[in-house]
Every structure is written in C-alpha cells, then in structure tokens.
Amino acid sequence: MANFTAKIDVNKIDKSRLFKGKDGLYLDLVFVETKSVGQYGDTHLVKQSISKEERESGVQLPIIGNLRPMGGGNTGGGQRQTPKPSSDWDSDIPF
C-alpha cells in the first residue's frame, strides 16, 4: 500500500463544516485524483466534503490542498517554511 503526503492551506477551510465528534473537532476531506501529475508530483486535489444534496445542486468548494505519494515529486529542495500564526483564527479551533 502506498503512503501519501498532503499539504493543506488551512486559511481556505470552511470552518462552518468542522464538526464535533466524541474525541475532538473533525473535518471531512475528499481526495480527487487528477488526470496528470502536477509540477511537484501532486496526484490528487484535496477538497472539503459536501453532502449528496449539495453535490447534486452544483455546490463546489475550493481546492484546499494537494496530495502526492511520499518520496515522489519535487519538494523544493527539502526546504520547509514554518507558517506564521494568523491572528484572525477563532480561539476554539485547535490549530
């Protein structure tokens, strides 16, 4: 079984779709396979999940990230940037 890595732009998350579960705050995601491999080895788009009714009525949520197989693609030389905290996050969101 292949392992994947995902990068999510948390600023694009629709916070109204977060839901409380027994053990925490959750977000349902959908991984949509792309027709071609992206510049950085991405093979899937990451979106927030929508209901069947929303899908049938044409609701589209923005792409919030990308997914790629681990070890594949260009990672920009292995450099990672640590994001700066945003001051406009709701205090009850744990990230």
29: β partners: 48
pLDDT band at 37 (very low <50, low <70, confident <90, very high): confident
Q: Give the CA angle between residues 32, 34, 35 to the nearest 5°.
A: 145
- Cα 66 to the center of its chain, rounded Å: 7
Hey, is 20 helix, strand or coil? strand
pLDDT tens digit string along 51-78?
999 999 999 889 999 999 887 554 443 3
Check residue 82 and give its pLDDT: 45
pLDDT at position 79 over 80: no
Query: Both tokens of residue 5?
Result: 């890595």
Answering whether pTM is above 0.75, one says no
State the Cα–Cα distance between residues 92 and 90, nearest whole angstrom.
6
Coil, strand, or helix at residue 7? strand
